[in-house]
A = this chain, B = another copy of it.
Amino acid sequence: MKNNVILLNHGSGGRLTRQLIDEVFGARFSNPLLDARTDSSIVNCGGTSIAFTTDSFVVQPRVFPGGDIGKLAVCGTVNDLAVSGATPLALSAAFIIEEGFDIQELDQFAESMANTAAEAGVSIVTGDTKVVGHGMADGLFITTTGIGIVTEDHLAIGNASRVQPGDVVIINGPIGDHGMAILAARNDLPYKADVKSDCAPLSGLIATVLDRCGESVTFMRDATRGGLGTVLCELAETVHRDIVVDEASVPLRQVVRSMCDMFGFDALFIANEGKVVMTVRPDAADNVLASLRKHPLGAEAVIVGTVDEGSEGKVHLETSIGGRRIIAVPAGDQLPRIC
């Protein structure tokens, strides 16, 4: 791949992103923490386990139904910490700004970052500002990095080492809202698409579940760029177990379903920004669902599948019409700059 150039799909979170990470960054930076390819790295800081994670945000448009680049920049990093079993502690924020950018607009995103950080119970404690000339960046890019403390009993949640056959797969609500909200905001659709991004900080929801039934949760991951499908494909591969998903049980709003049909997208691989996928011991599934549903961000939580005895590491989709097919992560997607 080194004789090639970067394509938009290298940033999609799909197979090409994975290849770029493996062949360039993974090969050059290799170390046990990076090689784990978890959402957050777990760094031992003088005996305390610190989750450490970073994301750049380049979403276009910067304001969309349900959020903006500032809210997204805080949610994305807070959620990466929370699904690692960490209590988010502090964020950094680095801004790359195009010359000529409106300071009032910048202030609006700073306000939205501050509000979201407050909602997530985390502070933005350090930052950086760089300015590049007119035409050298598309307005504003924000990179947030987060640290949080992981207690001993939650260490296995990020690396999936406790996942077993029989564990059920739960998601906290309908998929694809974020991706379709961005698509709708970007295009002059022939009809009014009433869809809002699900962008939200999941730290409160996740803390509630871990407090009540933490020992039964064997894995968590937020389903962002690559959607629910990518999370499950990567999990199946990591734990060398098959995962069976019941297509009919996957929650999907009608508007998202229609838009996916219209544009030819598979909703399983459409981005979310407020969805956590978890695997849970079967005997605790009802308790976990009950905990999730008590929280506004988990009201529509459901079971969507099961970890199977099969050891091929594939995801099988049981379709609504009774068939069964293996799903695979697409090379890229048709929606660049979704986050």
Contact = CB atoms under 8 A, between A and B. Distances in A.
Contacts of A145: 54, 92, 94, 143, 145
A143 B93 CA distance: 10
Contacts of A135: 135
Contacts of A114: 28-29
Given A6-B99, A97-B11, A101-B5, A126 B25 contact: no
Interface string A104-132: 10110011011001000001111111111
Contact of A123 (B29, B46, B103, B133): B29
Interface stretch (A16-24, A194-202, A258-266, A308-316): A16-24
A124 B34 contact: yes
A221 B200 CA distance: 37
A2 B106 CA distance: 9
Interface stretch (A37-45, A174-182, A274-282): A37-45
A61 to B, nearest CB: 13
Chain A interface size band reads 35 or more
Contact of A96 (B25, B43, B96, B102): B96
Contact of A2 (B5, B50, B104): B104
B125 A8 contact: no
A247 interface: no
A11 B46 CA distance: 35
Nearest to A50: B45
Nearest to A10: B131
Interface of A: 1-12, 17, 20-21, 24-25, 28-29, 31, 33-34, 40-41, 43, 45-48, 50, 52-58, 89-90, 92-104, 106-107, 110-111, 113-114, 117, 123-133, 135-138, 141, 143, 145, 147, 149, 336-337, 339
